[in-house]
Amino acid sequence: MAIPYADLTSGQKAAILVLSLGQDIASLVLKELNEAEIELLTLEIANLRDISPSVEEKVLNDASTIIMANRYISQGGVDYARSLLEKALGREKTNEILRRLEGSLKTTGFGMLKNIDPKQLINFIQNEHPQTISLILTQLTSSSAAAILSELPPELQADVSYRIATMEKISPDVISELEVVLEKQFADAGARDLSISGGTKTIAEILNLIEASSEKGIMETIESENPDLAAEIKNLMFIFEDIILLDNRSIQRVLKEVETKDLAIALKAASDDVRQKIFSNVSERVGTMIKEEMEFMGPMRLSDVEATQQKIVETIRRLQEEGQIIISGRGGKEELVV
């Protein structure tokens, strides 16, 4: 029985890709790998069974897209890559690609951090300067960074969060000094090609994963120091596509606040998952009205659709702050609605 693409591991995809390249090109690829990597790849190749032509083609297309995205990033950064990829592939596919690349970009130089128990890392960094802690947290996954941030004292949480939100590119000399310290404390660091950047998106992703009480305290402190920065972070903490994180009761509460016309506009550029979430929480009659409204509008400028989506997001944020709805997955715990 052929293996479905969705069930393939990253190792199996690598094996399929190498086999698809042909012997001459595959041999050039293998020359760039170390012995351990060659051994793992060889095992995957040996264990491959029943790969259909359609799966092979999807692996090749996937690899081609990743290479293209990497090239765009190296040419002009992530924002430049996002702009070009969205024109070619659409927003949903672009977000998927950049999320996948984000992990590989963050492991260079600080790759040793990904395998460290957050509790162990907390013991190491809690007495460090807030800027050092900020640098380290930007190199972790959002969930690991959130776990560590939650364990820091409240005043340090706000300080570190603010530094991440306002962080720009860091001098290679500073990174090298920090890496030396990490190497002494942990295992070999590996590659040296480092590029650290924080920003509002990074801290928004981290704050999305910590408990609501901690997030509220951090945001209040940032807002007192820089209201504009706090507003920007809040806007990034919940995007329109995150509607799927709302439970059905919360969705229904939000829909009471949103006009049918605005909902129709917002759904024109929404994913299938979001549309399904919305339509499953309205009556058949209302669902038909929304779909007819969408068809009647015809093509619209993306900027107009995004503005309407943001309007709905602001409603969701307000209801969440008032405790009227639940956003699932916040800090790993559910909150009770009074």
| pLDDT (0 to 100) of residue 336 | 37
Structure tokens at 247: 């439970």
The three-state secondary structure class of 298 is coil
Residues 225 and 308 in one domain: no
In a domain? residue 106: no
The three-state secondary structure class of 199 is coil
- List the one residue out of 53, 46, 41, 64 whose CA is nearest residue 3: 53
Residues 127 and 228 in one domain: yes
> Which of 100, 125, 154 is where one domain is finished?
100
> Which of 45, 77, 100 is where one domain is finished?
100
Residues 129 and 215 in one domain: yes
> Which of 216, 235, 254 is where one domain is finished?
235
Query: For the domain that residue 215 is a member of, what is the CATH number?
Result: 1.10.220.30
- C-beta separation of 205 from 191 below 8 A: no
Strand partners, 246: 327
The three-state secondary structure class of 254 is helix
Structure tokens at 295: 């068809």
Residues 231 and 253 in one domain: no
Q: Taking residues 186-205, what's their average pLDDT?
A: 54
In a domain? residue 258: yes
Number of Cβ within a 10 Å radius of residue 74: 10
Domains: count for the chain: 3
In a domain? residue 336: no
- Residues 134, 161: Cα–Cα separation, whole Å: 7
pLDDT in tens, 63-91: 888 888 877 776 666 777 788 888 888 88
Residues 163 and 274 in one domain: no
Q: What's the mean pLDDT when you consider all of the chain?
A: 77
Amino acid at 52: S
In a domain? residue 284: yes
Q: At which residue do the structure tokens 């901690």 appear?
A: 214
Residues 95 and 156 in one domain: no
Q: How confident is the model at residue 275 (pLDDT cuts 50, 70, 90)?
A: very high
Structure tokens at 130: 């807030």
In a domain? residue 337: no
With the C-alpha atoms ordered 80, 81, 87, 91, is the resulting torsion angle positive or negative?
Answer: negative
On the question of pLDDT at 49 being above 70, the answer is yes
Q: What is the reported pTM?
A: 0.39
Q: How confident is the model at residue 255 (pLDDT cuts 50, 70, 90)?
A: very high
- List the one residue out of 229, 225, 235, 254 whose CA is nearest residue 320: 254
Range of the structural domain that residue 33 is part of: 5-100
